[in-house]
Amino acid sequence: MYGMKEIIEEAESLPVEERAIVIDSLLRSLNPISVEIDREWVDVAKRRLAELRSGAVKPIPGSEVLTKIRERFEK
């Protein structure tokens, strides 16, 4: 039987896509699925995608976002 440390080490060795699936599964076990909330998130995602495709909003590179977050918390 695996202990917590072994489980974490095993999960860390997985490819990033598989780690994301593991994380999602664990989070869902803490926060049960709400069909209504999932529908709302789908609506938000569709709206944001349409805004990107139409040019109404410009995407910001992830590296730029992370830099701004780091700067904010370093103060």
Encoded amino acid at 70, one letter: R
Q: What value does the mean pLDDT take over residues 48-70? A: 95
pTM over 0.85, yes/no: no
* 75 pLDDT more than 80: no
Report d(CA 71, CA 65) in Å as an integer. Answer: 10
Contact present, 2 and 10 (Cβ < 8 Å): yes
Return the pLDDT at 1. Answer: 75
Domain limits, the chain: 1-32, 34-75
Report d(CA 9, CA 3) in Å as an integer. Answer: 10
Contact present, 19 and 12 (Cβ < 8 Å): yes
Report d(CA 34, CA 40) in Å as an integer. Answer: 10
Return the pLDDT at 31. Answer: 83
User: pLDDT tens-digit profile of 9-58?
Assistant: 999 999 999 999 999 999 989 988 889 999 999 999 999 999 999 999 99
